[in-house]
Structure 1
Amino acid sequence: MPTIKDVARAAGCSTATVSRALASPEKVSEATRERVTRAIAEVGYAPNVAARNLRRAESKTIVALLPDISNPFFSEIINGMEEEAHRAGYLVLIGDCEHDPARAEAYFGLLSTNQADGILLLTAEVPRALVRQADGRTDFPLVMACEFFADLDLPTIAIDNHQAACHAIDYLASLGHRRIATLSGPAANPICVERVRGYRDTLTVHGLSGEARILEGDFGFRSGYQQGLALLESPVTRPTAIFCHSDEMAIGVLKAARQLGIAVPERLSVVGFDNIGLSEYCEPELTTISQPRNEIGREAMRLLLSLLRGESAVRRQTLSTQLIVRQSTGRPAAEHSGG
């Protein structure tokens, strides 16, 4: 196990200085404290006493964990987080987990080295035991945004995914669509579970439960394109409308439709989810469920900061969504010919 001598060697100072930084951080300079903190992280020295003493000094840094930083969905959320954090004098450290729970676990390791004061978790791809342990620490607040754990009561800022999916399917059914497929994100993801539940519930309301067809993607462009081809290549079973769990997948479906010569919206209606910037500039412009992404980011950061101040706060806040109707949806071909 690393020792305090290892820390001193990595920090370029004496063991006495390291001990003083751990026991009485206010008695050393900020530069020395930061050097010792970095050295502790570098050598992996984090006994309970060190962690407990280091918690006496704030880092003024919040870690935001994302499942995939390349996904444009997160840009507005990060912007909202940054606005609130900057106003309160905090910095935001973005951690890209790349859908890898082990990478997320590494960021949680910052708890014991005073390199962050709290975590904003934007992914459910994290070991539950790790989250339970963090949530049990009153000195290290954790807030979830967008995603959630169905079996954990964590402070959360999110939307009603079931209701949003119901709204999308109800709209398509009102246009006259009967063969409505859905392209979900990862099936085990709680938000996808809720959206699929809304899809099924609304089909049942309209007497279409026998028409349910669900394919699984990963929220990305490529999976939308590939699964779009799978849904559209057979004229016999081809849906007249597809509800996608992300705008990226919906744009992938639009590409598949173009490749197969299927006109949108004349022969196929497509609905996305999130209202990312590209949704308004693709061809045709995409009908989508709009999430208040900037507001999600701001409210999540506000909740975390209030917890850091020791204030009581509402543990779960649900924000509203809106269906944005654009050019990618219309009545099915039979309706056109009948009119």
Structure 2
Amino acid sequence: MRRKLTLKDVSRESGLSTFTVSRALAGAEGVSKESREAVLRVAEEMGYVPNLAAQKLRGVASSTIAVITAGTSNAYYLDMMNGIQAVAQDMDQTVVLTDIAIGGVYDIGRERQTIQRLLEGRVGGVISTLTLLPESVKRLEDWEIPIVFVDSSPPEELPYVPSVTTDNYNASLLVGAHLQSHAFQDWLLLVYPPIWSSRKERERGLRDAAAKAGATIEVVEAGNNAASASKALRDCLGRRGGRLPDILIAGNNPILLGAFQVARERNTIIPDNMAMVCFDDFPFAPYLDPPVTVLNERSEEIGRLSAHMLTEIMSAQIEARKAGKPAAPIYTNEHQLQVPVDLVVRRSCGCPDPTRSRS
């Protein structure tokens, strides 16, 4: 672990006083434009990050967990946050939320800006729902800030970084086996971009399941939001001459919403004209007409597990600092967890509603 840079290092490299450097980095008045630009340039080149937590007396940074989401319209994140908050409350920690894919649209500039803000605030740890850039993870490591990925994998270059995920491949095989039981032959997967790492294994599992069932599968990519999903599905149906698939598989609930909108426009009767299933459970799935068959990924449990994992790593760092030892986060094989899933069968896939009484 490299030595942390200080204000004096920037002062020495820029040739300006620590007073000027401090005011330039804080955006305060009394510093010329040329001096401010010189300080910011030197700080960026050196990799210096000002400690805004200390400047603003925000207290102990190690008590704060930052959760990076990727589109808060997805109900998955709401349940996941419930799990994280429950653990954080027990541990007397503060949770802050930041979104790098507002409206389901990922922004690389927002990711870099977010990482910079988290470093400046000296958060104690990070939980990310999206695979971040390797450089982002490395920057956190340089400042001894641990990270746990949830519902997403760490960057391929950094496989040792902790994660709590679903076994998306086998989960997709489970969905596919159920579709095979209905003898569906024409499958359509409406799914988000591959920047969300769960896409790869979900698609691979469904392709293998379709091949085993002797079915065809068409993969249609949309942005990770309802409006984009609606447009992508309309375009797809236009290419198909209006012919509906036997089964539409929605990658998550925002995409499902977009598919429902198109179905309503076309007066499509579900599941008579086209069946539907969805990855990720959501609270109102049983109350739609028809109730939706979903793959329940236990997002609240994933949230609890990720928060427990992160706080254990953070606690070990605190003990190391007390003992005067290096406090870099220590990751082990136990920090790679996969949570089992459940297929919740309802009427949208063509099954009878199990909640209805039989005479």
Contact persistence 2:69–2:97 (CA under 8 A): yes
Separation in 1, partners of 2:195, 2:63 = 35
State whether structure 2 residue 180 is matched by structure 1 residue 173: yes
Distance 1:291 1:203 in 2: 21
Q: In the TM superposition, what whole-angstrom CA distance separates every residue of 1:287-325 from its partner, at most 9, and x where no partner exists?
A: 111111111111111111111122765121000111111
| Amino acid aligned to 1:78 | M
Q: In the aligned structure 2, how far is the partner of 1:113 from the partner of 1:188?
A: 26
Q: Structure 2: which 5+ residue stretches go unaligned?
A: 1-13, 29-39, 317-329, 352-359
User: Which of 131, 142, 158 is the matching residue for 2:137?
Assistant: 131
Alpha-carbon distance, 1:70 to partner: 3.1
Say if 2:347 is the partner of 1:327: yes
- Superposition map of 1:288-303 within 5 A: 288-303=294-309
Mark the CA change 1:175 to 1:62 in structure 2 (over 3 Å): closer, same or farther: same
| In 2: Cα distance, 1:3 partner to 1:103 partner | 32
2:190 is aligned to 183
Describe the shift of the 1:238–1:150 C-alpha distance in structure 2 as closer, same or farther (beyond 3 A): farther
Q: Percent identity?
A: 20
Q: Deviations over 1:263-289 (max 9, x none)?
A: 111121000111112322322211111
The 1:329/1:112 distance shift into structure 2, 3 A limit, reads: closer
In structure 2, distance between residues paired with 1:256 and 1:114: 44
Amino acid corresponding to residue 256 of structure 1 in structure 2: V
Q: 3-state DSSP class of the match of 2:193?
A: coil
CA contact (8 A) 1:120 1:142 kept: yes
**8 A contact 1:181–1:241 mirrored in 2:** yes
Task: Count matched residues.
Answer: 295
2:288 is aligned with 1:282: yes
Match of 1:318 in 2: 338
Counterpart secondary structure, 1:277? coil
Counterpart residue identity of residue 250, structure 2: C
Distance (whole Å) between structure 1 residues aligned to residue 342 and residue 92 of structure 2? 33
Alpha-carbon contact 1:65-1:104 (below 8 Å) kept: no
* Aligned counterparts, 1:1-339, within 5 A: 4-6=18-20, 7=22, 58-98=61-101, 99-110=106-117, 112-124=119-131, 126-135=132-141, 139-149=144-154, 151=156, 152-153=158-159, 154-208=161-215, 211-233=216-238, 234=240, 237-310=243-316, 314-330=334-350
Equivalent residue letter for 1:115: R
CA shift in 2, pair 1:127/1:312, >3 Å: closer
Say if 1:67 and 1:236 are closer, same or farther in 2 by CA, change over 3 A. Answer: closer
Q: TM-score, normalised by structure 1?
A: 0.77
Give the residue type in structure 1 aligned to 2:342.
Q
Cα distance in structure 2, aligned partners of 1:77 and 1:286: 20
Q: Distance in 2 between matches of 1:144 and 1:49?
A: 23
Q: 1:112 to 1:248 in 2, by over 3 A?
A: closer
Note the aligned Cα RMSD (angstroms).
3.0
Q: Is the contact made by 2:74 and 2:253 (CA closer than 8 Å) also made in structure 1?
A: no
Partners of 2:163 and 2:129 in 1: CA distance: 10
For 2:349, what is the secondary structure of its paired residue?
Answer: coil
